[in-house]
C-alpha cells in the first residue's frame, strides 16, 4: 500500500513536466528522431537490432530501416502508431514482448512517457532527421594521475615495461636503468587515457599497450649493423659480446684479452694477467664478471673481467667447437 502511494505521488509530480513537454509539441514543434526518440531506443531496442546484431532480421538504427522491417514485417507504419508493431511490442499488447524480460543487454521496458513520444513521432510521419555528431573534447590527463596498472617483461627477463598514467616506460633490468619512454603523442604520451594492459611478443621485438577503446602495437627499432675498427694494435682473432650489449671482449693474435666499447670499437682497457692460446673461443658469463676462454690444444680457463685473475683452468678439455654459460652462470 505504501508502495502504491509512492508511485502515485511520483507520477503526480512528474505530470506537469510531461504536460509542459507535450504542450510545446502542440504549438507546432514536431518531434525530432535523433533528439527525442533515438536516445531511449538506443539502449533498450537498438542494442539487439543493429547492423552487427540483427535479431529477427530487424535493424532499428534508422527510421528507414524500421519501416523496411524484419522477419515479422515493418516495425513501424508512418502516420499509424496504432498499426505499428513496435508500439504493440513496447506496450506488450501482443505475444511479442519487447524488450524481453530476461535479456543480457540490460534493456528495460519503455516508460509511458517514452511510448507516448514514440506514438507521436510515428503519427507525425516517422520522419528521419539529421544526426548531430558530438565532438569529444579530450582533456589532458592531470600530471598527478600516474598510477601503474600494467607491467610486462620480455621472456629473457632483460627488459620490463610499465604503464604509468597514460605513458609507457621501458627499463633494462641488467643495467638497472630507464631505456626510454614509449609514445607517439606530441607530449610523449602513449594513450589519451590510462594504460590498462601491456604485453611483449615472445621474441621481445613488439609490445602491445591497451587503453580505453584503444590498442597500439609498438615495434622495437632495429639498429643497422655497422662495422667499426677495433683500434687495436694487433688483429683480433676472437670476440664475444657482453649480456648488456655495451661491451665486447676480444682476443688478439698476441694472446691478450681486451675490453672494447661496442658502439665505437674503442679499447677500454686490457684485462691484465689474462692470456689466451691459439684459435681461442670466448664466452662471457651472464653477470658479465667472468670470461671463459678455450684455446687449441684443450686449454680451458676462466678469468675475472675486473682484474684478470685466473679463477680456474683445465688443460685437457678436449676438442670444443663452442662455449656457452648456463643461465645461472654456474656451469659451462
Q: What is the pLDDT of residues 68-94, one digit of tens each?
A: 888 888 988 999 988 888 888 888 776
Q: Look at the chain and report how many structural domains it folds into.
A: 3
Question: What is the reported pLDDT for 48?
Answer: 84
C-alpha cell read off for 227:
662495422
Rounded distance, CA 222 to CA 51, Å? Answer: 43
**Domain membership flag for residue 10:** no
**Domain membership flag for residue 185:** yes
Burial bucket for residue 200 (CB in 10 Å: 0-12, 13-18, 19+): buried
Question: What is the reported pLDDT for 15?
Answer: 34
**Domain membership flag for residue 128:** no
* Segment among 8-17, 31-40, 253-262 with least mean pLDDT: 8-17
Convert the pLDDT of each residue in 276-329 to its tens digit.
Answer: 777 888 889 998 888 888 887 777 888 888 887 888 888 777 787 788 888 888
Sign of CA dihedral 235, 283, 277, 255: positive
- CA distances for 202 relative to 92, 174, 215, 301, 307, angstroms: 55, 19, 18, 35, 37
Are 252 and 234 contacting, i.e. CB atoms less than 8 angstroms apart?
yes
Convert the pLDDT of each residue in 239-278 to its tens digit.
Answer: 888 888 888 888 877 777 888 888 777 888 887 666 677 7
Cell numbers 601503474 correspond to 148
Please indicate, yes or no, whether residues 251 and 305 belong to a single structural domain of this protein: yes
**Domain membership flag for residue 260:** yes
Please indicate, yes or no, whether residues 297 and 254 belong to a single structural domain of this protein: yes
- CA distances for 36 relative to 67, 118, 134, 221, 273, angstroms: 18, 9, 16, 52, 88
Q: For residue 127, is pLDDT > 80? A: yes
Rounded distance, CA 301 to CA 283, Å? Answer: 11
**Domain membership flag for residue 272:** yes
Q: Residues of the chain with pLDDT > 90: what percent?
A: 20
Question: What is the reported pLDDT for 233?
Answer: 55
Residues composing the chain: 332
Q: Which residue has the higher pLDDT, 321 or 111?
A: 111
Please indicate, yes or no, whether residues 247 and 274 belong to a single structural domain of this protein: yes
Please indicate, yes or no, whether residues 162 and 199 belong to a single structural domain of this protein: yes
Rounded distance, CA 208 to CA 200, Å? Answer: 6
Residues 6+ apart with CB under 8 A from 198: 150, 151, 152, 161, 162, 163, 168, 207, 208, 209, 210
Convert the pLDDT of each residue in 156-214 to its tens digit.
Answer: 888 999 999 999 999 998 888 999 999 998 889 999 999 999 999 998 999 999 999 89
- Domain boundary among the residues 219, 244, 261 is at 219
In the Cβ-directed half-sphere of 162, how many Cα atoms lie within 13 Å?
10
Q: Residues of the chain with pLDDT > 70: what percent?
A: 86
Residue 203 in 3-state DSSP? coil
User: What integer is the mean pLDDT of 95-113?
Assistant: 80
Q: For residue 217, is pLDDT > 70? A: yes
Residue 26: pLDDT band with limits 50, 70, 90 = very low
Please indicate, yes or no, whether residues 163 and 194 belong to a single structural domain of this protein: yes
Q: Which residue has the higher pLDDT, 237 or 124?
A: 124
Sign of CA dihedral 132, 133, 134, 137: negative
Please indicate, yes or no, whether residues 175 and 107 belong to a single structural domain of this protein: no
Sign of CA dihedral 15, 17, 19, 21: negative
Question: What is the reported pLDDT for 207?
Answer: 95
- Domain boundary among the residues 166, 185, 219 is at 219
Please indicate, yes or no, whether residues 167 and 242 belong to a single structural domain of this protein: no
Q: For residue 96, is pLDDT > 80? A: no
**Domain membership flag for residue 37:** yes
Question: What is the reported pLDDT for 226?
Answer: 53
Question: What is the reported pLDDT for 229?
Answer: 52
Please indicate, yes or no, whether residues 38 and 91 belong to a single structural domain of this protein: yes
Please indicate, yes or no, whether residues 119 and 71 belong to a single structural domain of this protein: yes
User: What integer is the mean pLDDT of 18-44?
Assistant: 68
- Domain boundary among the residues 173, 190, 219 is at 219
Please indicate, yes or no, whether residues 102 and 155 belong to a single structural domain of this protein: no
Please indicate, yes or no, whether residues 210 and 307 belong to a single structural domain of this protein: no
C-alpha cell read off for 121:
513521432
**Domain membership flag for residue 294:** yes
**Domain membership flag for residue 321:** no
Name the nearest CA neighbour of 19 among 27, 74, 299. 27
Give the residue numbers spanning the domain of 174. Answer: 148-219
Residue 224: pLDDT band with limits 50, 70, 90 = low
Question: What is the reported pLDDT for 214?
Answer: 94
Please indicate, yes or no, whether residues 107 and 181 belong to a single structural domain of this protein: no
Asked whether the bond before 150 is cis by omega within 30 degrees of 0, the reply is: no
Amino acid at each position: 500500500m505504501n508502495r502504491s502511494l509512492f508511485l502515485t505521488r511520483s507520477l503526480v509530480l512528474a505530470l506537469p513536466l510531461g504536460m509542459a513537454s507535450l504542450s510545446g509539441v502542440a504549438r507546432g514543434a514536431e518531434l525530432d528522431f535523433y533528439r527525442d526518440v533515438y536516445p531511449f531506443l538506443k539502449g533498450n531496442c537498438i542494442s539487439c537490432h543493429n547492423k552487427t546484431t540483427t535479431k529477427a532480421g530487424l535493424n532499428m538504427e534508422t527510421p528507414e530501416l524500421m519501416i523496411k522491417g524484419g522477419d515479422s514485417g515493418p516495425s513501424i507504419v508512418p502516420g499509424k502508431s496504432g498499426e505499428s508493431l513496435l508500439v504493440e511490442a513496447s506496450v506488450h499488447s501482443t505475444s511479442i514482448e519487447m524488450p524481453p524480460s530476461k535479456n543480457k543487454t540490460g534493456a528495460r521496458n519503455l516508460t509511458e512517457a517514452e511510448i507516448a513520444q514514440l506514438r507521436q513521432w510515428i503519427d507525425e510521419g516517422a520522419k528521419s532527421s539529421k544526426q548531430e555528431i558530438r565532438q569529444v573534447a579530450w582533456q589532458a590527463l592531470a600530471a598527478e594521475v600516474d598510477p601503474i596498472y600494467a607491467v610486462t617483461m620480455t621472456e629473457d627477463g632483460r627488459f620490463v615495461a610499465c604503464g604509468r598514467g597514460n605513458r609507457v616506460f621501458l627499463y633494462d633490468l641488467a643495467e638497472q636503468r630507464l631505456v626510454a619512454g614509449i609514445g607517439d603523442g606530441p607530449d610523449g604520451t602513449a594513450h589519451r587515457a590510462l594504460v590498462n594492459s601491456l604485453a611483449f611478443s615472445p621474441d621481445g621485438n613488439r609490445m602491445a599497450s591497451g587503453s580505453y577503446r584503444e590498442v597500439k602495437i609498438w615495434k622495437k627499432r632495429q639498429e643497422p649493423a655497422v662495422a667499426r675498427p677495433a683500434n687495436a694494435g694487433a688483429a683480433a682473432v676472437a670476440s664475444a659480446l657482453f649480456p648488456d650489449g655495451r661491451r665486447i671482449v676480444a682476443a688478439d693474435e698476441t694472446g691478450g684479452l681486451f675490453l672494447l666499447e661496442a658502439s665505437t670499437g674503442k679499447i677500454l682497457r686490457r684485462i691484465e694477467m689474462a692470456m689466451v692460446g691459439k684459435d681461442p673461443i670466448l664466452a662471457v658469463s651472464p653477470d658479465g664478471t667472468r670470461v671463459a676462454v678455450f684455446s687449441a690444444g684443450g686449454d680451458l680457463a676462466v678469468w675475472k673481467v675486473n682484474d684478470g685473475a685466473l679463477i680456474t683452468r683445465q688443460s685437457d678439455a678436449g676438442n670444443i667447437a663452442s662455449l656457452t654459460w648456463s643461465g645461472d652462470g654456474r656451469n659451462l
